[in-house]
């Protein structure tokens, strides 16, 4: 059986006080979550606090991005070694908000992916199409291009024990979820594409779905054969709601 992972992407939300309360709330309900892994990705400045609160628990911590370089004059960036030093296990790369609001290209995302691996972090590689790309019938083309950019740099080995998150951009933060069938179709496409290169790595790959996942729709999404958990934005900001999603994956 593949590893399942539910990861909360807190984006740029919270205060020291609210982040402490949210972390404690999630920790309180963690023993009722089954086998699925659970992670949270706080704003970088709160990572030390969350890492300290979660130390010794099963709740993993991740960065929301990671620099493609290891040190030097890269204002505003955070190196993989820094995330690692503060207890992070994961690093999200290629989130659509980074791609679309901050102009991150496929190539830069691929380099960030490599930097995560180089520093012992598990990359969570986000891929997904814009609404106009879906409407033009280009979903698979876009997702293939985003995967190919990483494959070109790492080869299939880069995907060993990595995580891919399929996040249709039109479903992120919009309340519009892909149907389980729509999501499954793209998840199967991702797995089949990687399977053509190495079926063992592809079969073991955790592929999360992200895009307006809530407690009320998590179970039917996670019941699909190629959906191995979720990357959760808005609904990860409330401990009870997030825990219910985690239980649906467990």
Residue 129 binds ligand PEP (CB under 6 A): no
Q: Which residues of 45-69 are buried (b: 16+ CB within 10 A; e: fewer)?
A: ebbeebbebbeeeebbbbbbbbbbe
Is the CB of 52 or the CB of 133 nearer to ligand PEP?
133
Contacts of 238 (CB under 8 A, 6+ apart): 22
- State the nearest-atom distance from the C-beta of 64 to ligand PEP, in Å: 10
- Of positions 128, 158, 210, 229, contacts ligand PEP by CB under 6 A: 210
Span 155-174, contacts to ligand PEP by CB under 6 A: 167, 172-173
- Of positions 233, 241, 243, 249, contacts ligand PEP by CB under 6 A: 233
Residue 123 binds ligand PEP (CB under 6 A): no
- State the nearest-atom distance from the C-beta of 209 to ligand PEP, in Å: 9
- What are the phi and psi torsion angles at 135 (to 5°)? -65, -25
Report the DSSP beta bridge partners of residue 38. 6, 59
Point out the residues that are catalytic: 95, 167
Select from 13-21, 29-37, 102-110, 226-234 the region that touches ligand PEP (CB under 6 A): 226-234
| 78 and 66 Cβ atoms separated by less than 8 Å | yes
Helix (H) or strand (E) holding 166, with range, is strand 163-166
Residue 14 binds ligand PEP (CB under 6 A): no
- What are the phi and psi torsion angles at 34 (to 5°)? -70, -125
> What dihedral angle (degrees, nearest 10) is formed by the CA atoms of 195, 230, 216, 188?
-10
- Distance, in Å, from the CA atom of 67 to the CA atom of 111, rounded to the nearest integer, reads 8
| 176 and 219 Cβ atoms separated by less than 8 Å | no
- State the nearest-atom distance from the C-beta of 190 to ligand PEP, in Å: 16
Select from 51-59, 112-120, 178-186, 227-235 the region that touches ligand PEP (CB under 6 A): 227-235
Binding site for ligand PEP (CB under 6 A): 9, 167, 172-173, 210-213, 231-235
């Amino acid at each position: 059986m593949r590893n399942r992972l539910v990861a909360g992407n807190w984006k740029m939300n919270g205060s020291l006080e609210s982040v402490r309360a949210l972390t404690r709330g999630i920790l309180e309900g963690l023993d009722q979550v089954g086998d699925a892994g659970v992670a949270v990705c706080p704003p970088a400045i709160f990572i030390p606090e969350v890492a300290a609160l979660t130390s010794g628990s099963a709740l993993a911590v991740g960065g929301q991005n990671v620099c493609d370089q290891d040190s030097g004059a890269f204002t505003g960036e955070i190196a993989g070694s820094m995330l690692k030093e503060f207890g992070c296990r994961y690093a999200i790369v290629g989130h659509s908000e980074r791609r679309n609001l901050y102009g991150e290209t496929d190539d830069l995302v691929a380099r960030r992916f490599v930097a995560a691996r180089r520093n012992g972090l598990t990359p969570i590689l986000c891929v997904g199409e814009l609404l106009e790309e879906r409407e033009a019938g280009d979903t698979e083309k876009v997702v293939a291009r985003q995967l190919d950019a990483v494959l070109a740099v790492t080869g299939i080995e880069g995907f060993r024990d990595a995580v891919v998150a399929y996040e249709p951009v039109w479903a992120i933060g919009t309340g519009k979820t892909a149907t389980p069938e729509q999501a499954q179709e793209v998840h199967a496409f991702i797995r089949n594409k990687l399977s053509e290169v190495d079926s063992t790595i592809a079969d073991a790959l955790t592929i999360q779905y992200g895009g307006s996942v809530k407690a009320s729709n998590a179970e039917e999404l996670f019941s699909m054969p190629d959906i191995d958990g979720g990357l959760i934005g808005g609904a990860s900001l409330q401990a009870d709601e997030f825990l219910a999603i985690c239980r649906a994956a467990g």
